[in-house]
Structure 1
């Protein structure tokens, strides 16, 4: 069993700070707040290939402003610039820096997921991934969760999306941080017939607990089909594969 990594209190504070930045600065793309300067170089995803960039937010203030406060303000400013509908962070570990996710629906049909790592009082963009569905921004519990699903040093980011009728209107993608600092959406092997595994990254109505195994649920013929998933690494692939699930008591 693994333990879910969360930073809910700090994330909640960041959401409030981001909301304040939006109110003070107007619509995304407007002028930064007074006393704040930000330079941004975004990364792009083309044909399934992600190219990284650097995102830097520098906040100037009084001597009482520490690195934590400066980093929070920088992240809030980046969220405002990108029109983020969800902001979530996870604490630093001895092996990895503090990480953050910004998620925003673009064009009403897709979601841009920006994954960042903290560097002192600033943030650098490690990857920018695009999911082909709108963000489930109003989800109870938040549109982004941090889970330990793939056994990596860093927690995995679960981003909830609007799904179809088969998945009760809820899908999710799981973003994994690789050893080189890049991120990718982890596919689910054989989840949907006729869909290439590399493109089959949308978990249908998933349910998580504190373990590395999770389930997806789909409606079929008036019944709910439940499938268990575990992360597996093969010779050339690393994905979620179907698991037998818990054994019946008897």
Structure 2
């Protein structure tokens, strides 16, 4: 792929990422949730293909699994994969949103061994789950805290300058956010204002870099190959406006 990277729209994120997830055999509901989370990632100025490709690769190679179990704990709840695999962030994301909404955001949720923690954050953000703190330490010992303050503002506090979207393989803890709660105060802090970032994206589009070709290859698995049989069954565009 050339150095002149592709620019896409939010609607194209929804279209391509839904089908990319379906291309690795994620159920259609999870695929749609995955795409909406990637729209939120895009609206905040990130390349959605960075952390999402890792999650798709893990499912495709069976390094991760959609299999998930829940158990109650004294502090709240615990989600984990019953297999000896990473828990796919596609499943962890949707399950964490369901848990937060049902439990009114008053207790903790631990999610064990998630492959792409930022996708969990993005699902919470996309579903307007605010007033939450999301904590994890990844496989490279980088610590992250995301404060989802409200529907318009959020911040990342981290122990290093490593990109949050590349953070992988971590136990994630979601809990209510207390005023002034900054576990990593004095470290790297980045604040986001969704309205400003989204306006910039609407004007300039979303740049997707070298990982886009791999995302597109997963999307392409959903395409029906052209043949006499496929055309006879209705695949493809019509020949005239009334088709």
TM-score above 0.5 = no
TM-score between the two structures when normalised by the length of structure 1: 0.28
Q: More strand per residue: 1 or 2? A: 1
Higher RCO (CA-CA < 8 Å; seq separation 6+): 2
TM-score between the two structures when normalised by the length of structure 2: 0.28
